[in-house]
Structure 1
Amino acid sequence: MTTAQAIKFESQDQGEETARADIYGLLATLLYAPPSQALLDTIASAPVQGDSGLELAWADVVAACKSAQQEAVREEYEQLFIGVGKPEVMLYGSYYLSGFLMEKPLAELRTDLMQLGLQRSDDVVESEDHLATLCEVMRYLIASDDVLHANLTTQKKFFSDHMQAWVVDCCNAIEASPNARFYKPVARLARQFFEVEMQAFDMSLD
């Protein structure tokens, strides 16, 4: 299990599932590490359309990328998510669910990942409950050719068990930070997308 590579923008007639996987992949990339200038430039040239909350949030991310410089974004990322001592904003599920890192929610997540046949890659330093890793798992569950994994029931259960209870709080924390400039619209996009996912899962059959 690795973080997503650079997002690949599809044509406007792409399927809904491909679009979902692309958004999860992009969020995984932006939240795992500061983006490259090439990725910022790619997003800056992406098309925008529509007036839904999600589409407007995407337009804000595209606009932010048009003026974003890699070094400034890197400094912001480190200030928000790494810092000296405790990060300003935590990106780990265990922190939101239990108040501490490396707690029971992480152990439960690792059990579920093992059942899915997934494990952390040796080159991934963050624990599995990092929001970027969870987004990458969701991307995999949507895009996988494995029929046992790539189904709505598995996606819904994973999201419900390991993301739904805390991801909006995490996005709100990023948006509320006075130090978030580039990552403010990224967090807004993530929150809008997660809320759409929750609504869709709620309407789906168990």
Structure 2
Amino acid sequence: MTVHDPESGADGLRADVYRLLALTLAAPPGADLLALLGGLSGDATPIGRAFDDLAARARGTDPQAVEREFNALFIGVVQGELVPYASYYRTGFLTDRPLSALRADLQALGLERAPGVSEPEDHIAALCDVMAVLIREGADPAVQRHMLDSHLMPWAGRFFQDLEGAETAGLYRPVGTIGRLFLEIEREALNRQTDQLEEADA
């Protein structure tokens, strides 16, 4: 099976979107990231309009306001409005079976949690970062599909939809839209790729 060319335009864009999602969901964006987000521009497609919305919101806020929003969404006094972990969305419990399965797959790929990182590997930001790394390194499409099908597709769409509708979401509302639409695009692309491979093998 051919390996993805990480320098190709399509794969480079995919990696960039995953990386953007990872950065915004791992921690509240500081001034530099807000400036980067504020410079984004989209097109007339639904996801393009979501990027425009994100850029406008980034230009109209500041790091302190975004930190308050992030804390309300994901941390809270006891728990944030959303719990951004695969295990929680899939089983209702933290550090459950989905995390164990993910850790086994990451170990097989030679990937491990960075030193000093305390968040479990099934955090949405960590999974988006893993996808960005796999794409940038030109991982086999079958590996990418396995990660998506096994660890993102079963729950991440619901998470992003919840983020879109979260009561405390401001800057993060279009982040949810981008994530939801991007995963739909990823699913369609992978399905087309599978069909092409099956036709080639026939």
Fold agreement, TM-score > 0.5: yes
Considering only CA atoms, is the larger Rg found in Structure 1 or Structure 2?
A: 2
Structure 2: unaligned runs, 5 residues or longer:
1-7, 198-202
| Paired amino acid for 1:105 | P
Q: CA deviation at 1:50?
A: 2.0
Q: Tell me if the contact between 2:87 and 2:97 (Cα under 8 Å) persists in the aligned partners.
A: yes
> What is the rounded CA distance, in whole Å, between the counterparts of 1:123 and 1:195 in structure 2?
33
Q: CA deviation at 1:64?
A: 1.1
Equivalent position SS for 1:204: helix
Q: CA deviation at 1:63?
A: 1.1
Instruction: Give aligned pairs, total.
Output: 188
TM-score by length of 1: 0.88
Residue aligning to 2:160: 171
> Which of 37, 40, 50 pairs up with 2:31?
37
> What is the rounded CA distance, in whole Å, between the counterparts of 1:79 and 1:115 in structure 2?
36
Q: Tell me if the contact between 1:76 and 1:180 (Cα under 8 Å) persists in the aligned partners.
A: yes
| Paired amino acid for 1:75 | R
Residue aligning to 2:174: 185
Q: Tell me if the contact between 2:42 and 2:50 (Cα under 8 Å) persists in the aligned partners.
A: no
> What is the rounded CA distance, in whole Å, between the counterparts of 1:99 and 1:30 in structure 2?
24
TM-score by length of 2: 0.90
Determine whether 1:101 maps to 2:90.
no
Structure 1: unaligned runs, 5 residues or longer:
1-13
Determine whether 1:90 maps to 2:83.
yes
> What is the rounded CA distance, in whole Å, between the counterparts of 2:98 and 2:36 in structure 1?
36
Determine whether 1:22 maps to 2:16.
yes
Equivalent position SS for 1:87: coil
> What is the rounded CA distance, in whole Å, between the counterparts of 1:136 and 1:163 in structure 2?
12
Q: CA deviation at 1:198?
A: 1.1
Q: Tell me if the contact between 1:57 and 1:192 (Cα under 8 Å) persists in the aligned partners.
A: no
The 3 A distance-change label for structure 1 pair 49 and 96 is closer
| Paired amino acid for 1:124 | V
More helix by share: 2
Q: CA deviation at 1:200?
A: 0.9
Residue aligning to 1:54: 47
Q: CA deviation at 1:87?
A: 2.0
Q: CA deviation at 1:49?
A: 3.8
Equivalent position SS for 1:106: helix
Q: Give RMSD over aligned pairs.
A: 1.2
> What is the rounded CA distance, in whole Å, between the counterparts of 1:121 and 1:42 in structure 2?
24
| Paired amino acid for 1:77 | F
Q: CA deviation at 1:66?
A: 1.1
Moved over 3 A (4+): none
Residue aligning to 2:134: 141
Q: CA deviation at 1:181?
A: 0.8
Structure 1 residues 19-45: Cα deviation after superposition (integer angstroms, max 9, x where no partner): 110110010000000011111112212
The 3 A distance-change label for structure 1 pair 112 and 195 is same
